[in-house]
Amino acid sequence: MNLLVPRLTRSVLTLLASAFLLTTLSSAGSPPVVDAHGLTPTFGGMLLAASFTPHGKDALTGAWFDGGHAKLLACKPHCMVVKSIPLDSPTIIGQDSLYRVVLAGDFRYTGRVKVVLRFEDMQLVTVSVPMSSASFSLSE
């Protein structure tokens, strides 16, 4: 009878350790939560405004839409193309931020644009981004 107690305890501990590791690894391996606020016209394309809430240290490494590849920019004080945007904590990208994502091309107002975002470890997130209709009515 004494032999069953250590095995049961070892089994329960193994089960608890496995559950802890699964929850830890699943949250660390998931891509950031993305809240796309909108697209506004800028010189030569559209500027993405969005917020990212990562599950640990991560980075935005690419962005695509129907028209092609978007540029990732670091603006300090002049904007330069970068290979990735670090996401160590909740991050906002847009007109007034250090980092920006610009979709190049000519756009017509369609209401929304689907953008695919790639993060470290090749994780992909697709977001439907609303376009600013007021700026299109001014430019047409």
Closest among 23, 93, 22, 15 to 52, alpha carbons compared: 93
- Predicted pLDDT of residue 45: 87
Q: How far apart, in Å, are the Cα atoms of 104 and each of 35, 62, 113, 115?
A: 21, 14, 13, 12
- Distance between CA atoms of residues 85 and 74, nearest Å: 8
Q: What is the pLDDT of residues 25-50, one digit of tens each?
A: 444 568 899 999 999 988 778 999 99
Q: What is the pLDDT of residues 70-99, one digit of tens each?
A: 999 999 889 999 999 999 999 999 999 999
- Predicted pLDDT of residue 98: 95
Q: Does the pTM exceed 0.75?
A: no
For the ranges 22-26, 51-55, 118-122, the lowest mean pLDDT is seen at: 22-26
- Distance between CA atoms of residues 68 and 46, nearest Å: 12
Burial class (CB in 10 A: 0-12, 13-18, 19+), 55: middle
Name the token pair of 126: 């697709």
- Distance between CA atoms of residues 58 and 74, nearest Å: 16
In one-letter notation, the amino acid at residue 87 is: L
- Predicted pLDDT of residue 33: 93
Question: Do residues 117 and 62 lie in contact, with contact meaning Cβ atoms separated by under 8 Å?
Answer: yes
